[in-house]
Every structure is written in structure tokens, then in C-alpha cells.
Structure 1
Amino acid sequence: MIRSKLFPSTSLLTLLFVAVGPSVAAYSQSTTDWPSFRGPGGRGVADGGEVPTQWNADSEDGPNEGVLWEAEVPGLGHSSPVIVGERIFLLTAVPDEGETELNIAAGGNIDAAEDGGSYSWIILCYDKSTGEELWRKTAHHGEPKATRHSKATHANSSVCVDGDRVVACFGSEGLHCYDLDGTLIWERDLGVIDVSKYGIGWGYASSPAIHGGRVAVIGDDPDHPFVTVLQLSDGEEVWRSDRSEVCERSWGSPLIFEADGVTQMVVNGFPWIVSYDFETGEELWRLEGGGDNPIPTPFIANGWIYITNAHGGKAPIYVVRPETRGTVLIDSDEESEEESDDEPNPLVWSVERGGSYMSTPVVSGDYLYLGNSNGVVRCFHAITGEKMFEKRLGKEAGVIASLLSVDGNVVCASENGTVYVLKSGPEYESLAENPMGEPCFATPAVAGGVLFIRTTKRLVAIGKTE
């Protein structure tokens, strides 16, 4: 059951929820740019580009089909491609000696990786049309200040770009701002951010987000969790909020959006999911969390906020009205349920089980799709919450990368080196199983009718070759 305790400052106007959700500022869907993690608005949606649904990028499996170009990527990173104009940006971490080991298809292994020696944390820039490397800049060099999970890397987050500013966050190795040609503008030391569980550092993964000339960064180290907003122009801090009373750890990225004249920043977390006023840092609402390893990033669809997380026996999905204010408690005790005309339900719908652990879901058409590390894909009706299907993709098809909706189809990049393409609809229908040749942990990107996929070794451009 759901209980909402409204802050005293909540006005009657704020309580006037509508069945179809509020008016939310629309996100433009450029066919040429993909300026941040999961593209415009962080929604993971690309339409109108006619991206191929079938290809073969595994050279050992026969001739490459549908591959426009491919480029080797040094080191190791789960950073997703970000595309602005004719440039593609990636992050990576390169050891001074040897190669970084990655645990593939390891199931529930909780261990930190046993890394030794120094690394270079690098921003890479490629030509979008040819794959030629245009420049690389080393943002930091030294021994890692925090450990990583054996399935993670020291470069998990993605850059975000606004105008001529490229912002990269390496967690303990700092926040760095460059121009499009690789000239350093400013950098900030965020201190050690050791996002850990069971006393083991699992690594940093939150990508920064830009809105209105400001940069938002999450640093949910269990010992001193925080969120901060800085000026994009010079990196000076605008505000910072201590999250020690609301969050034990998180790995997701911030959602920033405007609704009814207020710019909100929603941050996944445990035990609380929190929305902040982006201008001031004031807390607007909080939702009692679910899974105790909050990794997926919240996103907007249908004018509502979609949030999921998992682990610790819980895997909820919450669809929240942006007008919500105050504290929203999820309570299974029927006696605690409070119903009144002046306190409508802040949740459009929710389910206790069915959410995803690491992969951020996507809404494609009328349906919400979620991928899981055990290879299972689930589908719910995005408006009503009705479960449509649950299907296992294939052997060792762990879905770590976030899902995309591309031209109405759902793209699922998998740990087993296959990219699955599903037809959007209420029933499971596989359109293609596309071999990549290496595991895929990074979320793909789409720009100009081309799908850009980062494997553990390469950056590959998929498009029409005729």
C-alpha cells in the first residue's frame, strides 16, 4: 500500500493530479546527436533513422554484414558512445602494464577486481563517419583510488556534451571539462568516492548530466554520499546536498527535467529515491526505495517518471507523477493505507517484482521493456502496468547494457556478444540475434541512422551499406 506524507509547503494546486500526467517539457530527438548517456533526455529512444535490424559484426563468423566501420578501443571501459556533430566520445582506463581482466558471465560474484599498478584515465574522440581517432587526452594518471567490481571497469560512466563543452566524470579520479578539440577547460577533485557493498568497493558508474548551463554529479559513497551541481562554465559549485540520511549507495545517473515550471533532478537510491529542485537543491519529494543496489537511471515517458531497481529480495517498478511532493511510503500493511480525496495516489502504477538490476529500461510505444543480468526480458504495459510477457533471450545472455528503442524496435546488447532486436508489442517477437564478436556491456548510441556499439575491444558502426 502507499502512504504519502506531504510537506507543509505543498500547495493545494500541487495536489491536483491528472490521470494522464502533467505537461512535461518535451525533449527534442535529434537525428544527428546523442549528447549523453541514453541520448536526448536520457530516454534511450531514437526514431526516423531506419537503422538495420540485422547484421554480423563478428569477423570470425563470416564476412561482416551491415558494418560501416570499426575501430579498436584501448584499455577497458563500459562508457557508452556519446555523439555530437561529427565526433564520438568514449572513456577508457588503460593500465601501464598488461591488460585489465573482466569477469564475463560470472553470475552473482560479488568480489572486487584484483588490479595492480597505475592506470591512465582517457577521453577518446573518433570521427563519426570513418572511425578514425581524432584525439585522446589523459585526464588522470596514477593508481586507482578505489577498487572496482570484477565485472566493472575504471571507466563505467559516459561523458555529456553541451555546446562546446565535454564533461567526463571518473569518480575518485575527478571531474574534467574539455572543449570539442580536447583542450582542458577546468577540472575538479571530488575526493575519494568508494561506492561499496559488503565492505568491497564496486566502482563508480554515475554519468554526469547537463542542464541550463549546470552540471549535476552523484557521488554516493556509503561513507559520505552527496549530490552536487556545478557551473558548466568554470566548474564552481552551485550547491551540494548531503545524502547520508537518504542513501547508502547508488550507481545511476541523474534525471533532470522540467514540469509545471519546476526543474527537478531525480536520483535513484536506497532506502530513498529523491527528487531535488535543480535550482536550489531543496528536496521536493522522496519515495521509499526497493532494491538495495540502485543502478538504473530514472527517465521520463508519457509525462511520468519511470524508476526501477533490484537486489536484496526486491525488484520494484515505480511510475511517479512529477507533481508529487513530500514523502511517499510503500507499505504492505493494509491497516496503514490512507485514502482521501485531497491526497491522491502519487504513483500511476507500481509492481513489487519485475524490475531490472543493472540495465535501465526503455518505453517503446505503449510498452515498458526491462532487461536483466540473468538474460530475462520483461514487458509491461507502460500506461496500466499490466505484465505482457517474460522471456529468456538465450544462453548467458546477461543484459548489463541499458535498452534502447530504435525505430520502434527494442535493442538489447548482451554480455554473450549478441545484440538482440525485438519487435515492440504485447507479445515476445525476436527480429534478429546479431553477433558482435565480443561481450557488450556499454549501452549503444544512435545518430544519423547509424547504431554505434562499443564491445569490450571495439567501437562498431552499424548502418545501411548499400
Structure 2
Amino acid sequence: MIPAMPKPLTSLLTLLLIAMAPAEKLRSETTTDWPSFRGPGARGVAEGSTIPTTWNADPESETNDGMLWETKVPGLGHSSPVVVGDRIFLLTAVPDEGETELNIAAGGNIDAAKDSGAYKWMVLCYDADTGKELWRQTAHHGEPKATRHSKATHANTSVCVDGDRVVACFGSEGLYCYDLDGKLIWERDLGVIDVSKYDIGWGYASSPAIHDGKVAVIGDDPDHPFVTVLQLTDGEEVWRSDRSEVCERSWGSPLIHEVDGVTQMIVNGFPWIVSYDFATGEELWRLEGGGDNPIPTPFVSHGWIYITNAHGGKAPIYVVRPDARGTIKLDSEEDSDSLVWSVERGGSYMSTPVVSGDYLYLGNSNGVVRCFHAKTGEKVFQKRLGKDAGVIASLLAVNGNVICASENGTVYVLKTGPEFEVLAENPMGEPCFATPAVADGVLFIRTTKRLVAISEPE
């Protein structure tokens, strides 16, 4: 039996081992990553993080309080920052000639953008500490195979990262896998995915998701909607499910959730929201949706699956138990065990909600924020943020506050709780459509022109 080491020697040995450990190993153990759209578990929650409540990142301002750094981003994209270790990843689409524009605060405009000419679909990588661009790769070059909405871009999706693999999906322009240094590992042509309505292509927006060495991709083109799962190692297809009988269109990303030994992939859609067995593609349950433009991504909180959508007169919120099976009927007593609660109106159109503590927050394109009790469905409040404060970006919950990035160039910070309390209105100087990210106590915000890092002063 080896005798116990004295405590001072134990502490000294621990310090020596730490000092000798490789820097990369230390970073992986101490850094909180934001590896995909809406971060860990796609919940939009940064647990244990502390970020500033107030800041000023308006480039026209004489003071930039709270801003760690800023860098210009080429082209146009609503791709959200993804942070892994000391690297940030973004997607963008850069025209060969001229500049593309967004129709800001356009109200009910349904027209496609009048783009012409070729684009470069690019993956960008930045240093998280300084904002310096580390590398860029052009995944595809050519004329767009589908049109975009006048408020959307040709690079709406976010990458997902697992280990040393970075997966980017540009819809009609393909699926690509790089290593952390920008070396292309594999690529796959997904065909034309023209997610449209009124015979107008509104653009692709479904970010990929990674789980257990596999990549999930949604391609809900109304003419041939599908979901597929591929191997992360080489992009080979594991299974594909035709969704022509269940979905007319969708723009959300897949939620992958494992519980009780079953991993399911939940996909928002219209007329049906469907859960698939992630291993086989077999349907586990389905729920008739409400809004006919399903955009928000399902997420998990309190052990339940939260789903919302809107448009077409309906805006439901559904909270589903993960052990639900078969067709869930809203008016059936038999299905009362499958639904925790639901409401017919109150859901969000484009922004994915967030649960902060016991409260569910939803932002809307008209600037209205709604709050429900996350466990009971009781409506708590409905308030308007401000003039032209359209919330397109998804919401975040950070350290007891809710972050609402807005189309009017302001990031609102709300205090979690039953009262509507705006703690701060933080100027960015440019519209914010992309969902922010939080990593290592830094808030990363992409505006229409820049990537900005917000942090407490040291």
C-alpha cells in the first residue's frame, strides 16, 4: 500500500502537472464552447457566464464601452457565430460585383431579392481573442440556384463543430466539412433546395446538427422535402426520409435529443411536426402544427421539448414529453400524457424562444416580447420593446438575463422574472439578424456588417 502524500506536496504536484500540461488540453478543460446554432444543446442558454449588461458598440459613437474588439465581415449573411476554443466560425456570401442589400423593416413584403450575378459562398474563421481573420475558404462559386427573401441572405445557416470537424451547409450550394485549419475533408451535393412559398424562393436557413459522429440535415423544398443523416467522417448517407406527406416547407434546424436510451431528431414543419429515431429514421411521433411558415428550432428545457411556429393566423406553442409516441391529438384526453401544455396563440414567427429560469420568452418581428410560465403555460406578460425593434435573431439566456438582438440595431437586455423589466438598450449601430453567441464570458454579436466582441473590462 502506498502511503498518502502530505497535502502540501499534493498541492505542489498538482501545480506541476498543470504547468506541464499542453496548452490545448488546458483550453479544452477550461473554455466554454458555443459549438453550433444556439450553443450547447441548442438551448440558447449560457450557464454560469457573466457578460456586461450595458455597452456601446455603435461605430459612430465617440465611446465604445464594453467592446473588446470588432472586425468587418465581407458579404452578407445571417449565419450566427460559432465558437470553439480560440476560434470563431461564420458563413457569408460575397457577390463578385457590387454589394447586396437587405430590405430592413420592410413589414409584410414577400418578394424575393433581385440578385444577379455570381457569388462566393465562404467559410470564415477568426481569432476569438483579437478578431483577426485566421482563414477563409470558398466552398462554392457561381450564380445562386435559388432566390432569397429580400430580408434574408444566401448564407443564413450556422456551422456546427465536433472535435476537429467544421460542417457548413449552404443548401442548394452544398454541404461541406473542413478541419479547424480550413482544409476541406469532404463535400456533398444536396441538389436544389428551393424553400419557397407563393412560387417565390425565400432562401435556405436550416443549420446542420452533429451527434454521435453523424450529421443531420433538413432539406424541406416543397417539391421534394427530406431529412437525412450522414457520417461525419466521410459524408456518406446513413438514412434519408421523404417528407412529402408531412411537410410543405420549413426553415428551422433539427433538434437531437437523447433520453432513456433513445435518440430522437425533432423537426419543425407544416402541417406536421415530426420526431424521428436518429439511428434509423423511423418516425416516433408527430403533432399537427399551426403556423404555416415553421422557422423556430425545437429545443429542450426542464426535460421537455418546446416547439413554436406562426403565420397564417396561427401561432401555437407546444410542450411535448420526450416519451411521446404516435400521432398526438391536441383535443384528445388520451394524449394528455404526451403534452405538458400548449396554447393556440402566443408563439413566435422567426425567432427561436428561450427558457430562463421558470419563464419562457418569445421575441417577434413586430417588436413584441411575450413571456409564459415555462412549466404551466400561464401567460405572464406581452410588451413591446421599442420602435422598429423587430426580433429576428433567436433569444439567449445569460446569467439571469434575456438577450434580444433587434433589427433596429439595438440589443435589449431583459431581467428574468414575472415583470417586464428592460435593464439596458445597447446600441450596435447596425441591424442585428444573427443570433449572438457566448463563450468564456464574451458575447459575440454579428451585425449586418461586423463581428463584435463584448466583454467586462479586466
TM-score, normalization by structure 2 = 0.93
Quote the residue 2:152 is aligned against. 152
Q: Distance in 1 between matches of 2:52 and 2:421?
A: 16
Match of 1:394 among 359, 381, 386: 386
Partner of 1:404: 396
Distance in 2 (alpha carbons) for counterparts of 1:50 and 1:265: 31
Kept in 1: contact 2:31–2:85 (CA 8 A): no
Match of residue 376 from structure 1: 368
Q: Post-superposition shift, 1:281?
A: 0.2
Deviation at 1:329, TM superposition (A): 2.4
| Matched residue, 1:242 | 242
Shift of 1:61: 2.9
1:465 matches 2:448: no
The alpha-carbon deviation at position 161 of structure 1 amounts to 0.1
Q: Which is greater in Rg?
A: 2
Matched residues in 2 for 1:269 and 1:344: separation? 22
CA deviation map 1:250-303 (0-9, x unaligned): 000000010111000000000000000000000000001100000000000000
CA contact (8 A) 1:306 1:317 kept: yes
Supply the distance in 2 between the matched residues of 1:48 and 1:353 (Cα, whole angstroms).
33
Task: Give, as a single letter, the amino acid of the residue that structure 1 aligns with 2:437.
Answer: A
User: Paired residue for 2:108?
Assistant: 108
What one-letter code is carried by the residue in structure 1 that aligns with 2:40?
Answer: P
Aligned partner of 1:359 in structure 2 is: 351
1:443 to 426, 430, 435: 435
**C-alpha distance after superposition, 1:299-350 (max 9, x if no partner):** 000000000000000000000001100001234xxxxx4x35xx54311000
Structure 2 gap segments, 5+ residues each? 1-27
Does 1:37 find its partner at 2:29?
no
Q: Where does residue 53 of structure 1 map in the other structure? A: 53
Q: Which amino acid aligns with 2:433?
A: F
1:227 is matched with which residue? Answer: 227
Q: CA deviation at 1:49?
A: 2.2
Does 2:92 align with 1:79?
A: no
d(CA) in 2 for partners of 1:267, 1:458: 31
| Distance in 2, Cα, partners of 1:208 & 1:298 | 13
1:175 touches 1:189 (CA, 8 Å); kept in 2? yes
Show the counterpart of 2:163.
Answer: 163
- Are the counterparts in 2 of residues 30 and 40 from structure 1 also a CA contact under 8 Å? no
**Relative contact order higher in (CA < 8 Å, ≥ 6 apart):** 1
Amino acid at match of 2:272: W
Aligned partners of 2:81 and 2:426: how far apart in 1?
Answer: 19
CA distance in 2, matches of 1:54, 1:344: 44
How far apart, CA to CA, are the structure 2 residues paired with 1:378 and 1:355?
Answer: 8
1:349 aligns with 2:341: yes
Could you state the TM-score of these two structures normalised by the residue count of structure 1?
0.91
Separation (CA, whole Å) in 1 of partners of 2:282 and 2:55: 48
Residue 31 of structure 1 contacts residue 46 of structure 1 at CA under 8 Å; is this kept in 2? no
Contact preservation (8 Å) 1:375, 1:397: yes
Gap regions ≥5 residues in structure 1: 1-27, 332-336
Q: What is the RMSD of the two structures over their aligned residues, measured on CA atoms?
A: 1.2
The answer on whether the counterparts of 1:31 and 1:449 sit within 8 Å (CA) in structure 2 is no
Give identity over the alignment, percent: 84
2:411 to 414, 419, 423: 419
On the 8 A contact 2:194/2:222 being kept in 1, the answer is: yes
Following the alignment from structure 2 to structure 1, what is the Cα–Cα distance between the partners of residues 350 and 392? Answer: 6
Distance 1:84 1:325 in 2: 36
One-letter code aligned to 2:329:
L
Could you report, residue by residue, the CA deviation over 1:132-156 in whole angstroms, capped at 9, with x for unpaired residues? 0000000000000000000000000
Instruction: String of CA shifts for 1:439-459, please: whole Å, max 9, x gaps.
Output: 000000000000000000000
Kindly indicate whether the alpha-carbon contact (under 8 Å) linking 1:247 and 1:270 is maintained by their aligned counterparts in 2. Answer: yes
- Post-superposition, which runs of at least 4 consecutive aligned residues in structure 1 deviate over 2 A? 28-32
User: Is the CA contact 1:47–1:408 (under 8 Å) kept in the aligned structure 2?
Assistant: no
The answer on whether the counterparts of 1:29 and 1:40 sit within 8 Å (CA) in structure 2 is: no
Q: 1-side partners of 2:406 and 2:62: how far apart? A: 20
Q: Tell me the secondary structure at the aligned position of residue 59 of structure 1.
A: coil
Deviates more, 1:230-239 or 1:50-59: 50-59
CA deviation after TM superposition for structure 1 residue 29, in Å: 12
Do the aligned residues in 2 keep the contact of 1:29 with 1:46 (CA within 8 Å)?
Answer: no
Structure 2 CA distance for partners of 1:454 and 1:29, relative to 1, 3 Å:
farther
The 1-side partners of 2:275 and 2:341 are apart by: 18
Deviation at 1:50, TM superposition (A): 1.3
The residue number in structure 2 matching 1:206 is 206
- Following superposition, the deviation at residue 101 of structure 1 comes to 1.2
What CA distance in whole angstroms lies between the structure 2 residues aligned with 1:108 and 1:258? 39
